[in-house]
Structures are given as structure tokens and as C-alpha cells.
Chains A and B, each alone.
Chain A
């Protein structure tokens, strides 16, 4: 370039004037043209490069849209076998923009009332004339209705797809899964407890796998519902647990709740009796009392004798038995006929401090460790007097949830190690909770035959499922607020010669029937239901029925006296 630099132009203006005005202008024009040309070329080069870059490495429009579509708006919940329990689907929503309606409003109201009869014609007409911006006409509409509404051809009607939470198994395990609100946030159950994981875009692609087995859950729910209807009970609860891992295989609370329409359920239905409700569960506590005494060295064998009079006055109260002995009886007999008097004496020997320590280790004095957030603290006596100690010995004065009881039985029979109950499947990604020892292995072993005795000879005869070696304990407790109402429960373990599963069933206020001869204690209502449920559930769990196997009954049978039979 020959053009003088601006510095020269500036430094010697008098010389430039000498060269001539015309030339100066020409140079400046050249400079400007050159500058403009460069800028223009630069922009074109930039665009061309960008185009080339895009052609070589770029994405075309909407390339990644489809790939993200399979990750649902909210994570799935599946059971331990992968059966979907909760899924998010796209559902049709029908909305209405009254201001955008162009057709005859009366005519439109009439056809809407015909297609969606939940509101009448007048209501639709009032909506159309309200002047408001938007109404939901129906959420989760059926495709047929959507098609018919679309055929009306009214631009004021909005048809949209919205993610919607669907529970394919309807009421199955409703209290475990929980439900979501209209915005898709969990408000109960696992939906609430794992809301963050289920809605986080990074983790929601993976389904949340529960420890629940839907087949077992269904069997338990069915048997419980049957018993509940038969005995006109107010409610029922049931828990099935793997005693070695603490996995909850089934957990139910009746009356049932349909999470697809949770708002329509009553308060009673939304209440989770298995974890949120606490009850004095009665005689089902007695095995703990005996086990504590054995661990403390008070009971060496089941032949230890206690006086069992017909009435036992203690600290201003009188303790009664349903099957009074009126003589001295052994520990085996106390358990067999569920003697309150005997258990109270054993508990008194154990003492308040040791009892408290054991119950604490069993997790009976705090909220359960389960993942659900619907759980309450057990109700315990305020000052734990000697009378309270005795009452707790046979399951009164301390109110716990059925889940507590199940986890306590699991501890008692898995060798004495407490493991926190969990609703998540135990596998490579989720290990068993850290356990701690409560009872010795020896105690745990000896208790097997004691509880088997209750079922073969004692109060739990009707709970036996032939071949499955059920061992367990009945429990009938009066309600604290109304002594005439009962809560009956049965806590059992099977197969007793090598315990694997624990099941707890509870009926809230069962009524007497002619076929139960007017009795309404656990032996008559929840007992048979338990036996029925075991014979259905155990084959699914891979427990082989065998009529030739039994736990070591020689530990208890020598201490059961024949004359004690009624």
C-alpha cells in the first residue's frame, strides 16, 4: 500500500496541501474502501467457516430431542422382580380457553355435557361465559373422549399431553408406594421418601427397586382383607420380612387405598397402620420377655417353675389369665397357654433396667429404621415403674407398630442380631443395614422350639400351616382408650427348624362370630388367617413343606404337663 500513514498526514499538513486537495481525497477514499472490503471479506469468511464447521461437525435441528424422551418425567418404582408399581405416562388433558371460543357457546356447552357428563350443560355454559382465562375440563382423559372432543373442532378447547403418575397395580402396596400430588411430587410412602431421587434428572432414568414382592403382597392383602371382612374388623395390618436381611417383602395396611385417586380415599384408608399406628400388641411380647430372662441367666431351661395362681395382685393391680393354671407351671407352659401372671413374674426378675436396655437394642423405643417417613415413636411408660416392667412383660404399657414387632421377631430368630428393616431390595447396589447383637445365638436357637410349641400345642393351633413348621405367638390386647375393644395380632416365623421369614398380622377391633363360639381373641380370628396366608406365601418364597421336620422339641416337651390341658 502506497498511502501515507495517518501519522505523516497529521505531522505535515502544509505539504499535503501542496500536493493537492484532489489527491488527498482520493487516498482517503482508497483507505476507506479497503477497510470496508476487509471487513466485508472477514464477515463472509466467518460465515463460510461457520457453515463449513457446521457441515462437518454440526448437529442438525432437533437431533437430541428424541434421545432424552425415554427418561421419564419421574422415575419408575418397581418391585423386587421388576414388576412396575408406579410409572409416569403421558396422559391427555382437556382444557378450555373461554375467550378463544368462536362458535356458538350454548351449542358447545351442550355437546360438552354430552361428552363429559360429570358437569351439566348449565355448568359448561357458565364456564364459557365466565370470562376467565382457562379451565381444566378433565385430566387423564380417555383417548376416545379426546377424539370426540377434538372432533368438535373448537379452537377454544385445548388438548394437551401431560405427564401423569400411574399405578398399574392400583391399590397393591399403596401404603408402601405412596402417591403424588397434582404437580408430581411425592406426598406419601416411597414417593415421598425418595422424591429427590425420583425427580432428579440424573437419577430418574433408573427405576427405584423395592424389596416388596408383588405376589406376596397380593397374597397377604387378600388373606388379610378376607379376615377383616369376615370378622368385621375396623382395619388390619400385615408385614412379611426376611429375617436375615431385614428386607420387607410385603407391608400392607387396610382398608385399601387407590393411589391413582388418593384424594378419594378416606383418612382411615390413608393411615398406614403398619408403620404409623402404634398398639399395645399384647402377648406377642412374651417371647421377648423369656429371651431377655434367658440371656440374663435367669432362665436356664424351659423347666423353670413359677407359681401361677388364678389371680396375681401386683402393685395395686390384679393380673389375670385367660387360661388360669392355679398351680405352679413351667416356662414352657407359661408360653403355651400365654400366661400373663407367669410372664409378669419373669419380667419382674429381669428388672426395669435390663428390660429397657434390651428393648432399646431391639429398636422398640425409637422410630423404626425403615425408609418410609410415615412412622411414629412408640409410646412408652413415663417413669417405667415396677408395675410397668411387669405389664411390658406381657405386652402392655408399651405401644409399638406392627413393623417394630416384625423386626423384633426377626432379631429373635435370625440368631439374635438386629438388622434395620428396609424397603429397598438388598443387592449389589444396596447392602444390608449394619446390625448389632441383641440376644445370644443359643437363646435364639432355644426360642424356636418354644414358639413352635405354642402352635403345636398351645393357643396358636389354628395358625399352623401343615408342613411349613410355623412357630409364633398370638396376641390379644385391649385398646387403651376402650377396654372393651380388642387388637388381635399374630407374629410368626416359618419354617421354624431353620427360620427364614417372619410375618405379623394384626386385626383392629375384630368381632365375635357364631363359628368362633363368641370368642374374639387372636386364636380365633387372626390365627387361622395367618395359617392360610403362610400356606399361600411360603411356596412362593421357596419354603418346601415337609411334615417330617421339626425344631428340637425335646427342649420343651418334657416340661409340659398333661394335666395342664384345660
Chain B
């Protein structure tokens, strides 16, 4: 008891000192936290200042007068005219309407293309058409009808289109393919003097052409492919164009 009493004052002093120290530590902690917070705030401000600086620089470099100068010199964009503004989605959709396909009459023209005009070496697209029309008038109508409904004229149409813009040699090679696939139409045409040199030369392009032409003919025979579809024709024409280039 007496020991406890004698130590009481020591305890009191110690606890007071401890409490004071604790308080001081807390406040020290707070102060250091505050300091670091201020540091962060400071950095934020500095960063904002940098951003401001950079924004100003970008704004100055891309100022409107400069953009205008670029537009006048290079882009030449102008304000939209009144007709370029649309009323709404429907008007926009009307603009996006696909172009009507104009090759509806193509099979009619091609159906009447027999061999004779080719003997007089028509090289231009227009000539071929005209000659074909002329020939159709000489042929009996019933026969024409039959051919148009069959596979053969369609194939001709496809190949004729492919050949049209090509130079002489390709026309010849195409004729040769034609001859191969259209034996039923005219055997005479295959033996024309024009096609022979081309066959003798045996160019790589010709073989490829044949290979390319084959898959086109087969599905038509089965009548599974729409004969009016322009896609195979285009593909074919591209190929022939390339081949003719390499052949030369």
C-alpha cells in the first residue's frame, strides 16, 4: 500500500507524460499528413499550370486563322449548300437507294450473238453489239429463243463482257474459250484463222483463262447460278486483264 502510494506520483507523472507525448505524436502525424496533402495540392496546381501552358501552345499552333489558311491552300472545303441538308432519316435513306441494275437487256443482246460477225474481226465492244444485232435478224426467231433460255448464250454474255475492253490477243483467246464451250453453236468459228496463232503461241495466260472459264460454265449448266448476276463476269474480266498483261 505504502509502496503503491509512494509510486502513485511517479505513475501520475508517467501517465501525464505519456498522454502529452501521445497528443504530440497525433498532432505531429496530422501536421505531416497535412504537409503531404499540401504537397499533392501543390503538384496538382503545377500540373494544371503545365496543362494550361500546353493547351495554350496547341491552341496557338492550331489557331483558326491557321486552319483557315490550310483550308484555302490544301483542303478547299467550303460551307455546305442548302441542298446538302436533309430533312431526316427517310431523305437520307432515299439517297442511299441502290442504282437500278441496267444489265437487264444484256442477255437479250448476247443471245443473238452468233459467230459470223466475229469473223470480220470486231474488236470494239460497240461493234460486237451491232454485229450481233444484225446477225440476230438473219437467224430464225425460234432458234434464238431457245438459245437464250439455254445455258450457252448466257455464258457468251459473260465472256463477251469480259473480253470487251481487252486488246486483240485476249479477244482471240476468249474466242477460243468460247469456241471450246460453245461447240454446239458453230464448229466453223473454232477453225478461223484468227484464233490459230493464239493457240500456237500457247501463252500461260490462255491456260489460266481456260481454267478460270471452266468454273463459270459448270454452274450455269446446272442452272443454279443467276445468269444476270454480274459478279462472276467482273471477276473473270479482271483475271483476263491481268493475264493479258503478263502474257505481253
Binding site for B on A (CB under 8 A): 52, 55-56, 58, 60, 63, 65-67, 69-70, 83-84, 87, 89, 166, 168-172, 214-215, 218, 222, 465-468, 535-536, 539, 544-547
B31 touches A70 (CB 8 A): no
Other-chain residue from B24, B56, B68, B83 in contact with A166 (beta carbon distance below 8 A): B56
Q: Min CB distance, B169 to chain A, in Å?
A: 54
Which residues of chain B have C-beta atoms less than 8 A from A52's C-beta?
24
Other-chain residue from A67, A89, A166 in contact with B42 (beta carbon distance below 8 A): A67
Residue of A nearest to B79 (CB): A536
Known: A544-B85, A547-B82. A84 touches B45 (CB 8 A): no
Provide the bound-state CA to CA distance between A172 and B55, in Å: 18
Known: A56-B27, A69-B45, A535-B79. A84 touches B56 (CB 8 A): yes
Q: How many residues of B contact A (CB 8 A)?
A: 30
A66 touches B81 (CB 8 A): no
Which residues of chain B have C-beta atoms less than 8 A from A69's C-beta?
45-46, 49
A168 touches B60 (CB 8 A): yes
Is B101 at the interface (CB under 8 A from chain A)? Answer: no
Q: Min CB distance, B63 to chain A, in Å?
A: 5
A56 touches B56 (CB 8 A): no
Which residues of chain B have C-beta atoms less than 8 A from A535's C-beta?
79, 81-82
Which residues of chain B have C-beta atoms less than 8 A from A545's C-beta?
81-82, 85
Other-chain residue from B45, B56, B82 in contact with A87 (beta carbon distance below 8 A): B56
- If A52-B24, A66-B42, A67-B42 are given as contacts, then 19 extra A-B residue pairs at C-beta distance below 8 Å, sorted by A number, are A55-B24, A55-B28, A55-B31, A56-B31, A58-B31, A63-B38, A66-B38, A66-B41, A69-B45, A69-B49, A84-B56, A168-B59, A170-B60, A215-B64, A222-B68, A468-B82, A535-B82, A536-B79, A545-B85
Known: A55-B27, A55-B28, A56-B31. A467 touches B56 (CB 8 A): no
Residue of A nearest to B68 (CB): A222
Provide the bound-state CA to CA distance between A60 and B38, in Å: 10
Which residues of chain A have C-beta atoms less than 8 A from B215's C-beta?
none
Is B48 at the interface (CB under 8 A from chain A)? Answer: yes
A70 touches B63 (CB 8 A): no
Interface on chain B toward A: helix, strand, loop, or mixed SS?
helix
Q: Min CB distance, A55 to chain B, in Å?
A: 6
Is B14 at the interface (CB under 8 A from chain A)? Answer: no
Is B80 at the interface (CB under 8 A from chain A)? Answer: yes
Binding site for A on B (CB under 8 A): 24, 27-28, 30-31, 35, 38, 41-42, 45-46, 48-49, 52-53, 55-56, 59-60, 63-65, 68, 78-83, 85
B68 touches A467 (CB 8 A): no
A172 touches B65 (CB 8 A): yes
B45 touches A70 (CB 8 A): yes
B79 touches A539 (CB 8 A): yes
Interface on chain A toward B: helix, strand, loop, or mixed SS?
loop
Known: A89-B56, A536-B79, A545-B85. A169 touches B31 (CB 8 A): no
Other-chain residue from B38, B49, B55, B65 in contact with A70 (beta carbon distance below 8 A): B49
Known: A466-B81, A535-B81. A67 touches B45 (CB 8 A): yes
Q: Min CB distance, A238 to chain B, in Å?
A: 15
Which residues of chain B have C-beta atoms less than 8 A from A87's C-beta?
52, 56
**22 pairs, CB–CB < 8 Å, chain A vs chain B:** A55-B27, A56-B24, A56-B27, A63-B35, A66-B46, A67-B41, A69-B46, A70-B49, A84-B55, A166-B60, A168-B59, A170-B60, A218-B68, A466-B81, A466-B82, A535-B82, A536-B78, A536-B79, A539-B80, A545-B81, A546-B82, A547-B82
Q: Min CB distance, B22 to chain A, in Å?
A: 13
Q: Min CB distance, A248 to chain B, in Å?
A: 18
Provide the bound-state CA to CA distance between A89 and B78, in Å: 35
Provide the bound-state CA to CA distance between A546 and B30, in Å: 67
Provide the bound-state CA to CA distance between A110 and B150, in Å: 96
Q: Min CB distance, A76 to chain B, in Å?
A: 9
Q: Min CB distance, A463 to chain B, in Å?
A: 15
A170 touches B63 (CB 8 A): yes
Which residues of chain B have C-beta atoms less than 8 A from A83's C-beta?
59
Q: Min CB distance, A51 to chain B, in Å?
A: 10
A172 touches B64 (CB 8 A): yes
Which 3 A/B pairs are nearest by Cβ-Cβ distance?
A: A467-B82, A66-B42, A545-B82
Residue of A nearest to B48 (CB): A70
Provide the bound-state CA to CA distance between A84 and B56, in Å: 8
Residue of A nearest to B31 (CB): A55
Provide the bound-state CA to CA distance between A84 and B53, in Å: 12
Residue of A nearest to B20 (CB): A52
Which residues of chain A have C-beta atoms less than 8 A from B59's C-beta?
83-84, 168-169
Which residues of chain B have C-beta atoms less than 8 A from A539's C-beta?
79-80
Q: Min CB distance, A70 to chain B, in Å?
A: 5
Residue of A nearest to B78 (CB): A536
Which residues of chain B have C-beta atoms less than 8 A from A60's C-beta?
31, 35, 38
Which residues of chain B have C-beta atoms less than 8 A from A222's C-beta?
68
Which residues of chain B have C-beta atoms less than 8 A from A65's C-beta?
42
Which residues of chain B have C-beta atoms less than 8 A from A171's C-beta?
65
Which residues of chain A have C-beta atoms less than 8 A from B49's C-beta?
69-70
A66 touches B45 (CB 8 A): yes
Known: A66-B42, A69-B46, A539-B79. A168 touches B31 (CB 8 A): no
B41 touches A89 (CB 8 A): no
A168 touches B46 (CB 8 A): no
Q: Min CB distance, B117 to chain A, in Å?
A: 53
Other-chain residue from A56, A169, A544 in contact with B63 (beta carbon distance below 8 A): A169
Most buried by B among A66, A83, A171, A535: A66
Q: Min CB distance, A536 to chain B, in Å?
A: 4
Provide the bound-state CA to CA distance between A66 and B45, in Å: 7
A169 touches B64 (CB 8 A): yes
Residue of A nearest to B46 (CB): A66
Residue of A nearest to B85 (CB): A545
Residue of B nearest to A537 (CB): B79
Most buried by A among B31, B56, B78, B82: B82
Q: Min CB distance, B111 to chain A, in Å?
A: 48
Q: Min CB distance, A66 to chain B, in Å?
A: 3
Which residues of chain A have C-beta atoms less than 8 A from B82's C-beta?
465-468, 535, 545-547
Which residues of chain B have C-beta atoms less than 8 A from A169's C-beta?
59-60, 63-65
Provide the bound-state CA to CA distance between A467 and B82, in Å: 5
Which residues of chain A have C-beta atoms less than 8 A from B60's C-beta?
166, 168-170
Which residues of chain A have C-beta atoms less than 8 A from B80's C-beta?
539
Q: Min CB distance, B39 to chain A, in Å?
A: 9
Q: Min CB distance, B31 to chain A, in Å?
A: 6
Provide the bound-state CA to CA distance between A493 and B191, in Å: 80
Provide the bound-state CA to CA distance between A48 and B82, in Å: 82
Which residues of chain A have C-beta atoms less than 8 A from B24's C-beta?
52, 55-56
Which residues of chain B have C-beta atoms less than 8 A from A166's C-beta?
56, 60
